[in-house]
Amino acid sequence: MAAGPDALSLFAAIGLSEPKARETLKNEALSALLREAVTQAQGILGPTVDKATGTLLYNVASRLKDQKRLRFLVGCITSRKILTDLQLSAALEYVRSHPLDPIDMADFEHECGVGVVVTPEQIEEAVEAAINKHRAELLSERYRFNMGLLMGEARGSLRWADGKSIKNEVDLQVLHLLGPKTEADLEKKQKAGKAKPAEVERQQKALEENGGVTLETKSLMEQLRGEALKFHKPGENYKTEGYVITPHTMALMKQHLEITGGQVRTRFPPEPNGILHIGHAKAINFNFGYAKANGGVCFLRYDDTNPEKEEEKYFTAIRDMVEWLGYKPHAVTHASDYFDQLYAWAMELIQRGHAYVCHQRVEEIKGHNPPPSPWRDRPVEESLLLFQGMKKGKFEEGEATLRMKLVMEDGKLDPVAYRIKYTPHHRSGDRWCIYPTYDYTHCLCDSVEHITHSLCTKEFQARRSSYFWLCNALGVYCPVQWEYGRLNLLYTVVSKRKIIRLVEAGAVRDWDDPRLFTLTALRRRGFPPEAINNFCARVGVTVAQTTMEPHLLEACVREVLNECAPRAMAVLEPLRVTITNFPTEKALEVLVPNFPADETKGFHKVPFQATIYIEHSDFREVMDKGYKRLAPGQPVGLRHTGYVIAVQNVIKDAGGQVMELEVTCTKSNSVEKPKAFIHWVSDPLVCEVRLYERLFLHKNPEDPAEVPAGFLSDLNPDSLRVMDSALADRSICSAKPFDKFQFERLGYFSVDPDSTEGKMVLNRTVMLKEDPGKV
């Protein structure tokens, strides 16, 4: 809007400075509302409006959500019913809480302090009471005492008192009690001491290890209980910006509260056509977590409206993953539970003139600018008969759809409500050949289940208008849709279509291949559910889309496994070692703590005998500078044994490869302390160990700018290495699938379901710390 002289002079008439007036004119919505308010005020008060009134007019224009209340509030300001910003705040809250006409003026004036006069004597008494309450602390701390506390308590007992008058009275009474400020009062308060260098170093190291993100963040529950999400209270849906209010809104809200008892209700509504991934973990935590944090309930509702892609295994896997993350649904429901009601509502929608049967093909109405339907204005009776014919199977697939008469927020015209599919449904069989779409189903299922907060990801923001429109078009309870940002990870793909392509190409075994970031894959790899929940909490609930490096998730995994995964020893690339002077004929038993930091958690026994196995990489024939492990002339200690070994003989095969070492052992307390202690196994268990790396080479494998040939061309050839002759100590021989261990010096490992009685299979979950060689 141009900053014309008329607009500037109009805003100047209420006391706005020229810069402020010009800044206001840049906001077209605000300036239009302010013009209307000032014009109305001048019509009552004349061309000159005092600055105090002008400030109130500006504040009402900038803060009012429901524009139809502008004239009412300007009338209250010009009639001197509202005199302070405090009263204006109360008035704005009142009209937000009472969206329907008529307004009860007596109640409004009472809630906004209209006509209330606070005398100087009342202010003096209130301040005196606050000072007497804190007299001892005031005398002790003098002018360093928080005077805001006194002002707050005085204001609490005199809601409509002028803030400046309270402050002046506080200053006067404090001066009378303490006298003028002394030099000691004027000295600056000493700041808290800086963290010690060692503490600073520890904090910096923690930040570096976790990619610059500190792990000491609020839990998701703390976030959801706090100020992070200022959602409406149950029954106060109409206070939400953009919520559409009808003459039936308040009656429906009253009925809703009677049914729910004012309880928070959310839902997690996955499509049962694939396996959940890490992004769904955030949605699960958000929906179930928000309900739990507020004493409410969360439904698990399958959006089973597309029978072509739905399979029973997905229903089972989805519920398993929700419960694996630690959440119990209040009820498990299906969109198909409501097919009869949804059909009846579709008939009603047609009868009310809000929907019609259309014969445009799918390819004709794709995109955001399809041609208008020539059948949009067909008679209601005709659409009713045609829709019934669709239900009875009188049309081919794609020959007819039911469309709703509305324009969505993204400009899409008349979204489809029903389409024809001659595919049996997993629950209803062949009973239906028409199925509702997401745009039609979602809000109505939310309404049936009396959901209070319909939480969904940001891409559904364009459907918020259709969400409100459809509930109101049918005159049913309308929940509130809230959008939040998706959670994505680098170096992966989560699209169902792309995971299927990976499986078909043989790049991964199935949906639960541990290189993927589906929840079943993460469980199989050994990620604890607590770690995934912690990760979601640390990412937080934001409106913006979040794309994270995988190492932050891995840091959460290490944090949990460090506390719950018992220690054991394993050797991935074994080198046989014979101790020629082993001190006894029989094997010794070595006690190894399950958790070295807390020996109260017990020990396990490991045999120690003349033949042991060490990592091939823990021996070198020729020492490099800085090398501290075993080499000729350089002994090492064996962990937990109390012995040091020294190389006597190196045995090689015909090709010159080292096959075996002959060593001698000495008690560690009788020789110089070695430079290193290495792990080992004796009488071991033969295992298969699978070592996983990132599946893709680039951060964004789906980005054509990074990977022009497509994501399948970006596969990491070293994403899986199988060590089929690894050795582990026998303390793990009774482990079951998904049991977890920390193998000393190697990382955290989890027992894979592929394990058999004859051979255990272990997946490396994460290394002990982030690999500095990774990007």
Half-sphere exposure of 387 (CA within 13 A, CB side): 27
> What tokens were used for 178?
């303490």
| Alpha-carbon torsion (448, 454, 460, 463), positive or negative | positive
List of residues 6+ apart from 321 with CB closer than 8 A: 275, 276, 280, 284, 519, 520, 523
Q: Which of 36, 523, 9, 464 is nearest to 242 (CA)?
A: 464
The Cα 249–Cα 252 span in angstroms is 5
409 CB-near residues (< 8 Å, 6+ apart): 461, 462, 463, 464, 465
Angle between helices 70-78 and 28-45 (to 10 degrees): 40
Q: In angstroms, how far is the first alpha carbon of the chain from the final one?
A: 49
Radius of gyration of the chain (CA): 36
CB 369 within 8 A of CB 410: no
Residue 644 neighbours by CB under 8 Å, 6+ apart: 635, 636, 637, 638, 665, 666, 667, 668, 671, 674
- Rounded to whole angstroms, the Cα distance separating 424 from 437 reads 16
Task: Write phi, then psi, for 709 (nearest 5 degrees).
Answer: -85, 5
Nearest 5°: phi and psi at 2?
-75, 145
Chain-centre distance of CA 273, in angstroms? 22
- Quick one: CA torsion of 112, 114, 120, 122, rounded to 10 degrees? -60
Q: Is 93 a catalytic residue?
A: no
> CA dihedral in degrees (356, 350, 482, 89; nearest 10)?
120
Question: Most distant CA pair in the chain: distance in Å?
Answer: 112
Measured in degrees and rounded to the nearest 5, phi and psi for residue 319 equal -65, -40
486 is catalytic: yes
Q: What are phi and psi of 689, to 5 degrees?
A: -120, 130
Residue with tokens 């072509």: 308
Strands 297-302 and 265-268: parallel
Q: Are 234 and 552 in contact (CB under 8 A)?
A: no
Distance, in Å, from the CA atom of 219 to the CA atom of 556, rounded to the nearest integer, reads: 13
Residue 545: DSSP 8-state: -
Separation between Cα atoms, residue 601 and residue 591, nearest integer Å: 13
CA neighbours closer than 13 Å in the CB half-sphere of residue 388 = 8
- Which position among 239, 496, 501, 639 bears the catalytic label? 496
Tokens of residue 341, six digits: 């009601």
Which structure tokens are listed for 717? 């050839």
What does DSSP assign to residue 654? T
Residue 41: closest CA among 26, 27, 30, 52 = 52
If one counts every other C-beta atom within 10 angstroms of the C-beta of residue 212, the result is 9
Task: Please state, as a whole number, how many other Cβ atoms lie within 10 Å of the Cβ of residue 559.
Answer: 16
Identify each DSSP E strand in 112-167 by its residue range.
Answer: none
| Residues 526 and 765 sit within 8 Å (Cβ to Cβ) | yes
Catalytic residue among 36, 111, 209, 271: 271
Told to judge if 301 belongs to the known catalytic residues of this protein, a careful annotator would answer no
| 760 backbone dihedrals φ, ψ, rounded to 5° | -85, 140
- Token pair, residue 264, equals 């928070």
Among residues 65, 225, 239, 486, which one is catalytic?
Answer: 486
| Assigned token pair, 747 | 């990382």
If we measure between CA atoms, which residue out of 740, 760, 736 comes closest to residue 749?
740
Angle at which helices 28-45 and 18-25 pack, to 10 degrees? 120
Q: How far apart are CA 351 and CA 331, in angstroms?
A: 33
What residues are annotated to the active site?
271, 486, 496
